[in-house]
Amino acid sequence: MEIIIRPTAESAADLVARVIADELRAKPDLVLGLATGKTMEAVYANLVRMHRLEGIDFSRCRTFNLDEYVGLPGSDRNSYRHYMNHNLFLNVNVDLKNTHLPDGAAADIEAECRHYEQLIAQCDGIDLQLLGIGLSGHLGFNEPVSSFRSRTRVKVLSPVTLAQNGKFFPTPEQMPRHAITMGMGTILDSRRCLFLATGAEKAEIVAKALEGPVTSMIPATALQFHPRCTVVIDEAAAGLLKEADYYRWIFANDLQWKAYRGNGELPHRNGHAHNGVPAGQAIARS
């Protein structure tokens, strides 16, 4: 896991969008896993801007979203299909036929979940999976005690999630109690994970997810097992991390991030990180 702390929510979202754009440039038919939520709106706004100004090309890209509410057709303005169409898909040159979300209005929900896994497999799996985190510690809608080996299925939404997302519905009662979500196993199978969290409200759950013991009570802790997970957070969300200086030092010295750092970030002043690794020494990523 590599943990990158950016000064503001804007700069964190900007870095995430640049990573996605670079992956798209390197592999134009990228299989891109997408996420929803307020946090991601800035990422999608950046991607739309990069598409317009820099010609970032989505024409061959395939996308798979993490989740969708059960009972909401794509035409419902609270559906994640509606969110994706309006925040990203209709504003870039992606082929809508290549954009996938679970169908929350499917007559046979279990068949829909199996079908979604098959579609991902037919695309040879997800190259890059964008992830946010809910206050319950969920990824997608994998709520506490989700199995780390789970596949796409229906989950009951937790009271914490109902409280967090209910405010986006006309009345909280209108928020569905169930969602189809990629499983933790589906997410962990993706070749790279790109996690974004911003704001002080997320500081406690971010600290538990990144530094706490691995537990299905906080499904995001499973990312500690992923072989290539890039975590991007702002200072506010990093507020309760014990080892923030160590993460800053790695980011400041890791050559792969050179182009992303800008001028303001020099290697750690005293040449030693928290763990005593000398500045400039290669750090293995995990």
Residues that bind ligand GLP (CB under 6 A): 35-39, 66-67, 132-134, 140-141, 161, 165
Q: How far is the CB of 25 from ligand GLP (least distance, A)?
A: 26
Q: How far is the CB of 23 from ligand GLP (least distance, A)?
A: 19
Q: Are 234 and 8 in contact (CB under 8 A)?
A: yes
Indicate the residue whose CB is closest to ligand GLP: 37
63 vs 283: CA distance, rounded Å: 32
Q: How far is the CB of 204 from ligand GLP (least distance, A)?
A: 13
User: 58-70 burial, b if ≥16 CB within 10 A, otherwise e?
Assistant: beebbbbbbbbbb
Q: Are 70 and 180 in contact (CB under 8 A)?
A: yes
Q: How far is the CB of 74 from ligand GLP (least distance, A)?
A: 16
Q: How far is the CB of 32 from ligand GLP (least distance, A)?
A: 15
List the structure tokens of 202. 């997320």
Q: How far is the CB of 87 from ligand GLP (least distance, A)?
A: 12
List the structure tokens of 69. 């509410």
Q: Which is nearer to ligand GLP, 195 or 249 (CB)?
A: 195
Q: Which is nearer to ligand GLP, 192 or 274 (CB)?
A: 192
* Torsion (CA) 30, 100, 1, 22 in degrees, nearest 10: 30
Tokens 């809910």 correspond to what residue? 134
Give the number of other Cβ atoms within 10 Å of residue 219's Cβ: 28
Q: Are 216 and 145 in contact (CB under 8 A)?
A: yes
Contacts of 263 (CB under 8 A, 6+ apart): none
Q: Which is nearer to ligand GLP, 139 or 273 (CB)?
A: 139
Q: Which is nearer to ligand GLP, 136 or 253 (CB)?
A: 136
